[in-house]
């Protein structure tokens, strides 16, 4: 029996992926320093799956701490989520972002190498497509031209891992470029729990619905889209989590670097999301039109062909499912994890 190490496994996408991996029969070890997550998420993963997941409150940039995990466990593959992820904050604190996000990948890869573990699934983002305008984005679309340090760290990590494979073709690296993960596990026990004021549309929307925030700011209604608001590819976080299970299987089977978009392939505007949310929850969402947010593109959605062909994975859940599940989580946990 071998283990899958999930770094950042107490976070939003990490916790849902742990549930999907455990339900698929994998044995999971979590390393997460809880700098942007809570231990309660780990307890809830255990309660959903009935499984005793091993947890280490370790900092992934610290090779000594990582050594302890690799010595104690027969790790076969790593799913690497740990890192900082707020676009705006990355503009204010670039050094923190470069240090944490690059050093974590470098330390992890060095320790993996010492222990002969050469399989890694990396959590990247559609943000690497930068301000390239041609949608849908395929894995061959140009990358770079990033608009903030967070995006550059994703782009640079992709480069670092590709160079590791170039130096040793026995490595297997699967890079997953996520579009907009939203929603929550249907149990309502785990979900997105941002610290402070939410940056993203869905947590803002659910916090308005639950009465924590007054109204939703809509950033721009003059984009060249069908109703003037920005278009994004929203993907249910459990679909995304299941995509990781397929990616781990692929990673264990193959060698080299494989890159996949994980999205639904469908674009929805901000107004469409608000209407779908109102319909799914029978709540009215007050909103106010604001100026465009700096760095936002008008439309971003994925070509999902490659993931369907090679990972045999497709998103199944609808926008209505995303709204219902996001709301169930928020309504049963108005203060997030306490």
Neighbours of 209 (CB within 10 A): 21
Give the single-character DSSP code of 137: B
Q: State the minimum distance, in angstroms, from the CB of residue 218 to ligand UFG.
A: 4
Which residue's CB is nearer to ligand UFG, number 42 or number 302?
Answer: 302
The verdict on whether 178 is a catalytic residue reads no
Single out the segment in contact with ligand UFG by CB under 6 A; choices: 28-36, 59-67, 95-103, 197-205: 197-205
The answer to whether residues 222 and 293 touch, using CB atoms and an 8 Å cutoff, is no
Does residue 201 bind ligand UFG (CB under 6 A)? yes
Does residue 85 bind ligand UFG (CB under 6 A)? yes
Which residue's CB is nearer to ligand UFG, number 288 or number 338?
Answer: 288
Burial class (CB in 10 A: 0-12, 13-18, 19+), 214: exposed
Single out the segment in contact with ligand UFG by CB under 6 A; choices: 14-22, 122-130, 132-140, 168-176: 122-130
State the residue number with the nearest CB to ligand UFG: 230
Tell me which of 84, 232, 317, 328 binds ligand UFG, using CB under 6 A.
232
Neighbours of 121 (CB within 10 A): 29
Single out the segment in contact with ligand UFG by CB under 6 A; choices: 51-59, 104-112, 195-203, 316-324: 195-203
Does residue 327 bind ligand UFG (CB under 6 A)? no
Does residue 296 bind ligand UFG (CB under 6 A)? yes
Bridge partner list, 174: 121, 258
Burial class (CB in 10 A: 0-12, 13-18, 19+), 278: middle
Q: State the minimum distance, in angstroms, from the CB of residue 129 to ligand UFG.
A: 8
Site residues for ligand UFG, 260-279, by CB under 6 A, read: 270
Distance linking the first and last C-alpha atoms of the chain: 34
Does residue 94 bind ligand UFG (CB under 6 A)? no
Q: What is the CA radius of gyration of the chain?
A: 19
Report CA-CA distances (Å) from 82 to 14, 37, 210, 300.
Answer: 8, 11, 29, 24
Does residue 126 bind ligand UFG (CB under 6 A)? yes
Nearest CA to 187 out of 48, 323, 52, 49 is that of 48
Q: Which residues bind ligand UFG (CB under 6 A)?
A: 85, 87, 125-127, 151, 180, 199-201, 204, 216-219, 230, 232, 270, 293, 296
Residues involved in catalysis: 150
């Amino acid at each position: 029996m071998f283990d899958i190490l999930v770094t950042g496994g107490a976070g939003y996408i990490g916790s849902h992926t742990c549930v999907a991996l455990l339900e698929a029969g994998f044995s999971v070890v979590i390393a997460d320093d809880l700098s942007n997550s809570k231990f309660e998420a780990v307890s809830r993963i255990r309660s959903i799956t009935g499984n005793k997941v091993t947890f280490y409150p370790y900092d992934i940039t610290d090779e000594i701490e990582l050594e302890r995990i690799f010595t104690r466990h027969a790790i076969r593959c790593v799913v690497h989520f740990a890192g900082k992820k707020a676009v705006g904050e990355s503009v204010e604190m670039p050094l923190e972002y470069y240090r944490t996000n690059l050093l974590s990948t470098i330390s992890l890869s060095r320790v993996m190498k010492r222990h002969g573990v050469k399989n890694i699934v990396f959590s990247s983002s559609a943000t690497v497509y930068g301000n390239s305008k041609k949608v849908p984005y395929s894995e061959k679309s140009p990358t770079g031209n990033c608009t903030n340090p967070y995006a550059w760290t994703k782009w640079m990590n992709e480069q670092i891992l590709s160079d590791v494979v170039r130096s040793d073709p026995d490595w297997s690296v699967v890079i997953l470029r996520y579009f907009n993960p939203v929603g929550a596990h249907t149990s309502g026990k785990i979900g997105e729990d941002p610290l402070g004021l939410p940056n993203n549309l869905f947590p803002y929307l659910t916090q308005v619905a639950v009465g924590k925030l007054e109204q939703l700011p809509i950033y721009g209604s003059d984009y060249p889209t069908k109703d003037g608001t920005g278009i994004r590819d929203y993907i249910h976080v459990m679909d995304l989590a299941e995509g990781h299970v397929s990616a781990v299987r692929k990673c264990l089977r193959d060698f080299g670097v494989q890159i996949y978009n994980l999205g639904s392939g469908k674009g929805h505007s901000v107004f469409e999301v608000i209407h779908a949310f109102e319909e799914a929850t029978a709540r009215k969402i007050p909103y106010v039109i604001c100026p465009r947010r700096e760095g936002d593109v008008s439309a971003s959605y994925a070509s999902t062909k490659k993931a369907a062909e090679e990972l045999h994975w497709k998103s199944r859940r609808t926008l209505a499912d995303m709204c219902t599940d996001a709301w169930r989580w928020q309504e049963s946990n108005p203060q997030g994890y306490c």
